[in-house]
Amino acid sequence: MVYSYFLLSYRYAKMSTRGGGRGGRGGRGMTGHGITPHGVTTRSVLTPAVQFTPNNGVTTRSAIPPAAQSTPNNDREQNSSAAQHISESEQPNESLTPEDAPVTKQVRGRTKGLALAKIRRRGEKVKLGFSRMLGQPTSDNEDDLTRYTTELGIIVRQFAPLQAKSWKVVPQDAKEMCIAHIREKFDLPEATYVDKAILQSMGKRYCDCRSRLKKKFEKGAVNCPAHIDGADWGYLSNLWQDKDYQEKCDKYKDSRSNPRNHHVAGSKAFYKVKNHLKKKNNGVNPDLPETWMKTHYSEKRKCWTDGSETIYKKLKDVQDQAMANGSVPLTDEELSCTVFGSKPGYIRGLGHGPKPSLTKSGQTSRAQLIRDAEEAREETTAAQKRCEEALVEAALARKNTKQLAETVANMQSQLNFLLQQNGRNMPSNDANYSTNDGDRLVDEDAMEY
- Alpha helix segments (H runs only) across 134-191: 142-159, 172-185
**What would the DSSP string read from start to end of 193-242?**
HHHHHHHHHHHHHHHHHHHHHHHHHHTT--SPPTTS-HHHHHHHHHHHT-
Same domain, 135 and 233: yes
Tell me the per-residue pLDDT of 87-141, one tens digit each, with 9 for 90 and over. Answer: 444 444 444 444 555 556 677 778 888 999 999 999 999 999 998 877 889 888 8
- Highest mean pLDDT, choosing among 182-186, 265-269, 413-417: 182-186
Q: Does the pLDDT at position 407 exceed 50?
A: yes
Give the count of domains, the chain: 2
From residue 365, alpha-carbon distances to 132, 200, 348 in Å are 9, 14, 18
Is position 88 within any domain?
no
Same domain, 244 and 277: no
Q: Does the pLDDT at position 12 exceed 90?
A: no
Same domain, 236 and 156: yes
Q: Determine the average pLDDT of the residues in 42-59.
A: 39
- What angle is formed at CA 238 by the lines to CA 82 and CA 157, rounded to 5 degrees? 90
Same domain, 196 and 123: yes
Instruction: Of 250, 239, 349, give the one whose Cα is nearest residue 290.
Output: 349
C-beta separation of 104 from 41 below 8 A? yes
Q: Which residue has the higher pLDDT, 421 or 173?
A: 173
Alpha carbon distance 289, 286 (integer Å):
8
Residue 354 has a pLDDT of: 77
Q: Does the pLDDT at position 18 exceed 90?
A: no
From residue 266, alpha-carbon distances to 9, 116, 205, 211, 348 in Å are 47, 23, 17, 19, 17
Alpha carbon distance 148, 116 (integer Å):
9
Is position 441 within any domain?
no
C-beta separation of 269 from 277 below 8 A? no
Alpha carbon distance 26, 20 (integer Å):
7
Name the DSSP class of 346.
Answer: B
Hey, is 172 helix, strand or coil? helix
Same domain, 236 and 276: no
Same domain, 184 and 302: no
Residues in the chain: 449
Same domain, 233 and 279: no
Is position 227 within any domain?
yes
pLDDT band at 9 (very low <50, low <70, confident <90, very high): low
Hey, is 108 helix, strand or coil? coil
* pTM for the whole structure: 0.53
Is position 369 within any domain?
no
Same domain, 118 and 241: yes
Tell me the per-residue pLDDT of 163-190, one tens digit each, with 9 for 90 and over. Answer: 999 999 999 999 999 999 999 999 999 9
C-beta separation of 187 from 128 below 8 A? yes
Same domain, 245 and 275: no
Same domain, 226 and 324: no
Of 203, 229, 257, the residue at which a domain comes to its end is 257
Alpha carbon distance 253, 215 (integer Å):
13
What percent of the chain clears pLDDT 70, i.e. is strictly above it? 66
Q: Determine the average pLDDT of the residues in 206-215.
A: 92
Is position 34 within any domain?
no
Q: Which long-range contacts (CB under 8 A, 24 or more apart) does 45-48 make?
A: 45/70, 45/79, 45/82, 45/83, 46/70, 46/72
Full residue range of the structural domain in which residue 324 is found: 270-341
Tell me the per-residue pLDDT of 324-378, one tens digit each, with 9 for 90 and over. Answer: 877 777 888 888 888 888 877 778 888 777 777 755 544 555 556 666 777 777 7
C-beta separation of 115 from 147 below 8 A? yes
Residue 194 has a pLDDT of: 92
- 3-state helix vs strand vs coil in the chain, percent to 5: 55, 10, 35
Mean pLDDT, the chain, rounded, equals: 74
Is position 64 within any domain?
no
Alpha carbon distance 284, 126 (integer Å):
25
Same domain, 224 and 174: yes
Amino acid found at 254: D
Sign of the torsion angle spanned by Cα atoms 119, 122, 123, 128 = negative
Same domain, 211 and 315: no
